[in-house]
Every structure is written in structure tokens, then in C-alpha cells.
Amino acid sequence: MRTLILPGGDEAVALGQGTWRMGERRKAFKDEVAALRHGIACGMTLIDTAEMYGSGGAEKVIREAIRDQRDAVYLVSKVLPSNAGRKRMVRACERSLKHLGTDRLDLYLLHWRGGVSLDETVEGFLALREAGKIRHFGVSNFDTDDMEALWQTAGAQACQTNQILYNLTRRWPEASLMEWSRRHGQPLMIYSPLEQGRMPADGALGAIARARGATPMQVALAWTLRHADTFVVPKASRIAHVDENLGALDIVLTEDELAALDRDFPPPAGDAALEIL
């Protein structure tokens, strides 16, 4: 399993597990827990969630999955912009910790930029870090301009990552955000790398998959994983889906295959706007 080193020195696996839409259906609870536990056993120890996911339901799924192995995982959660004020952030963080059954988060992200000033948000993160409730902080769904504004905020250069939407059908970060992030030593964490399973199975993607004896989803995930400075957190709510995601690690796309995918899924030609799911 390839790992990355975050700016603060933490090491985490490049292929983790997302939990968006988990914890929303009671009858799916056991399968979701089993999928997460299987992923952890296979080395996918970075787990990403948010207080918004299932209104805390996803965090409760994770609580069961990591019940006897908290120290084995790198745990990430996100705070809603409406809770990004310093006092509200404390309450939101404590609520997430309770749902997760842990005393600290490894990484706490602002889910997206809202009406609370970045100054107050960073102050809240730093206070939580000082209190030992979080180890590090970062952001999510920030475009280049947002990151520039963040970088002018006192204490914000302790930011560890920016979690964004990126996949073959949504290549907007290539316009400027990826270059900015690399220049400032900020790894990107990718959510929805498979567009929630809506990748087309025909064209170059399907042809490459057939030639390799893989699935189109594995090829699409391998395409995202090709970046050495990105974490990827696809969701898998069943063990079989976890295994399919793991299979992407065995695929190293050739220059010809990458060129074929570029023809079907062109990179941005100029400026590209932030996209959020």
C-alpha cells in the first residue's frame, strides 16, 4: 500500500475509505461495518467521514468498525461551515468524537467555506488541537482562490490537506489548484473518484478495462491514484466493492492508455470552476 507523508509528518495510506451515504439505512449497518473492517484489514486504514453524513450516522458506523482497533486507523472528519465558529466548533467536534467513540481525531476538516471568517475557523482548529481533541486540521472543497485566502490567515499554514471532488469526468483541479497545491506542499484528498459509480463503461475506459481483465471502475480509480501526492477515499459499502477498489492498486496505466483517456475525458483547456457534489 503506497503511503504519503502529510506536511505535519503523519504518514497515511494513499487509498482510504470514504463513508458518504453510510449510516442512512438501518438494514445496511452490518454490511457497512463489515466493509470498513475488511478494508482496514487489507491496509485501507485512512477513514474519512463528516458530521453531515447521515446526520452523524456514518460516524456511528465507523465507531462499530474501529471499536477494538482505533489506533490502527487514521481518522478524518469534517465540520459543517455553520459550525465553524470557535464555540460551535468545540461542540461539533465533541459530538463527532462521541459518535465515533474516540477521544481525538487525526484530522479535522472544514467541509466547505461558509460565512464564518477563516480567521475564526483557524482559531477554532488551533484551540481544538491545543486541547488534544484533534491532531491536525485541513479544509475541503476549496478552490485556488480559497486556498490563497487561507494562506493569508494566521496559523493556517499548519493546514494538512484540501479534500476535493476529482475524477475522470471532473478534471477542474488540473486548471490551477493542483499546481498551487504542489507548490505549497499541500497533498489533495480526493472524494468521489468514481463519480458515485456513474463512470461510462464504453469508449477508452471500457477498452482498457477489457484489455487488462479489470473493471472500468478499477481503471478509473487507478487513473486517480496515479498522482503521487493525492489521497483517494472511495466509498465501498460491501466487501466485494472494497476488493474491487483494492484491485486498482495493481494497475499502472501506460502513456498510451493515459492519452486515450485524455481524448475521451479532456483536461480543462483554461480556467475551470470549483465543482462540489
> Which CATH number is correct for 11-197+229-243, 3.40.50.720, 3.40.47.10, 3.20.20.100, 1.20.58.1290?
3.20.20.100
Is there a catalytic annotation at residue 108? no
pLDDT digit string (tens) for 160-181? 999 999 999 999 999 999 999 9
Identified catalytic residue from 53, 74, 108, 191: 53
Chain mean position to CA 241? 17
Alpha carbon 24 to its chain's center: 19
Measured CA to CA, the distance from residue 200 to residue 13 in angstroms comes to 27
Residues 125-143 pLDDT 10s? 999 999 999 999 999 999 9
Strand partners, 104: none
Q: For cell 496515479, what's the residue? A: 226
Residue 100 confidence (pLDDT) above 90: yes
Rounded Cα gap, residues 245 and 250, in angstroms: 10
- The predicted model scores a pTM of 0.96
Across the chain, what does the average pLDDT equal?
96
Q: Using 50, 70 and 90 to split pLDDT, how confident is the model at 241?
A: very high
